[in-house]
Every structure is written in C-alpha cells, then in structure tokens.
Amino acid sequence: MTSPAAASTAGPAPAAVSATPDQARRSWPWSALQGVVLVVLAVVAVVVADTGVRLLLAGLGVLGLVRGVALLRSARAGLVERSAAVAGAGAAWFGAVAVGLAFFPPAVAAWTCVVVLAGVLVALVVRAEPARRVRAGLAVGLAVVALAAGTVLAGPTWLAAASVLAVSVAVLAAGVMSVTGALALRRVAAQPAPVAAGCGGCACGAGGCGGLQRG
C-alpha cells in the first residue's frame, strides 16, 4: 500500500525542472499547501496521543481522495497517461479506506500504520534497481528483525507505536519534499514566459514584426 502523499510528492526537483512557468504557477500553491498539511499531520500524530494517529489517517485519506480525483479527471480529459489514471484510482481508493478507518478506535488506526509500514518495506525491495536490490533487501531485513525483536521484548503494543512513529517520519519527509518542490516551482513560475519560436524580440519596440515589414 502506497501513501498518496508519497506518490504526489515523488521527485519534486525533476518536476520543477520540466515544468513551464504557466504550469508552475498553477502547481506550486497546491504543493506548498500539501507539504504544510503533511508536516502538521506528522507532528500531531506523534505529539497527540490516540487522536493524533486518527487525524493522520484521516488527513492522508483526504489528500489521497483529492489527488486521486484530480488524476482521474485529467485522465478522462486525455491530459495524462493511463498509468497516471491507475495511480489516481489507487490513491482515491486508499483515501476512502483511510477516512473510513479514521472513525474507528485509535488502535485500529495504529495497526493500519503497521500494514502501511509493511507495504512500504516490501515496496522498497520490489521497486529498487536490480543493482541495489540486494542492499535494499538487507536493509529491510534488518528493519524487520529489529521490529520483531522489539515486539517480542515489549509486546504488540510497541510494534503499533513504532509503526506510527515510522509512518509519521515518512509523512514528515514527504511534507518537507513537497515544500521544497513548491519553492522550486515558485522560482520557475517567476521566470518570464518563453518567447515564441522564430522571434528574437528585437522588433517589439518598433511595433512588432509587422512594423519592420512595413518599414
């Protein structure tokens, strides 16, 4: 299971580099708002007992729904590829489930974080490059051993608490990445629009290209 926040903030720097000023002007406010919301949710999940993890789950669910619906609308209009539509459907599904689970007792939300953490660990190995897959597998194996040892020594409650902390740290990192991407997009948005091909701009002060032709 992939967090919608992570999906929507992956690779902010390349997106900023490839975005046009017009695209950046539309994108950077959303990226900044999303980043701030993710940071707040991560902090609340750690600081506020019980209720914090439910707010984290509900917040991620709302972000997933918003992002998923936006991608599905873009796919219907033919603006994105089919893979983006599939990602949008997955984000919307995750969002709806997360919002529903947030209404259950805090223990349900905490154990949902255990499932999310397990999904993230599996994804780290599956999506790793072939040259780095062995290293990723060893790192994930060590993490699993540490979680298992903690569970045996401190009980299942410790596993749930550790998973909440791990998910919160991941959400915090995604929020920081989103804000960083927003700052990069804002710099792109401040750039002047590119001059149309075939025009060097030298005739603009003389009334445009038509003025030169009349002269």
Q: What angle do CA 89, 170, 113 make, to 5 degrees?
A: 70
Token code pair at residue 128? 């790793």
Q: With 0.85 as the threshold, say if the pTM is over it.
A: no
Number of domains the chain is built from? 1
User: Is pLDDT above 90 for 200?
Assistant: no
pLDDT, position 148: 92
- Report the Cα 197 to chain-centroid distance in Å: 35
* Of the candidate ranges 12-21, 79-88, 92-101, 163-172, the one whose mean pLDDT is the lowest: 12-21
C-alpha radius of gyration, the chain, whole number: 22
H-helix segments, the chain: 4-9, 12-18, 21-47, 51-76, 82-101, 106-126, 133-154, 156-189, 209-214
Quick: pLDDT tens for 66-88: 988 888 888 887 777 778 888 88
What's the whole-number average pLDDT of the chain?
A: 82
Give the model confidence (pLDDT) of 24-81 as tens digits: 788 888 889 999 999 999 999 999 988 999 999 999 999 999 988 888 888 887 777 7
Q: What is the mean pLDDT of residues 173-186?
A: 91
What pLDDT, on a 0 to 100 scale, did the predictor assign at position 204? Answer: 55
Phi, psi of 190 (to 5 degrees): -75, -10
| Separation in Å, CA 22 to CA 26, 115, 192, 193 | 7, 39, 10, 8
Which residue type occupies 213? Q
Q: Which pLDDT value is given to residue 110?
A: 92
Q: CB-side exposure of 43: number of CA atoms within 13 Å?
A: 8
Residue 171, pLDDT > 70, answer yes
pLDDT, residue 124, reads 86
What distances in angstroms separate CA 4 from CA 34, 62, 91, 157, one per listed residue? Answer: 11, 9, 5, 26
Query: Between 40 and 204, whose confidence is greater?
Result: 40
Domain holding 136, by residue range, is: 4-214
> What's the first-to-final CA gap in the chain, in angstroms?
66
pLDDT score at 111: 92
29-52: b (≥16 Cβ within 10 Å) or e: ebbbebbebbbbbbbbbeeeeeeb
Would you place residue 145 in the very low, low, confident or very high pLDDT band (cuts 50, 70, 90)? very high
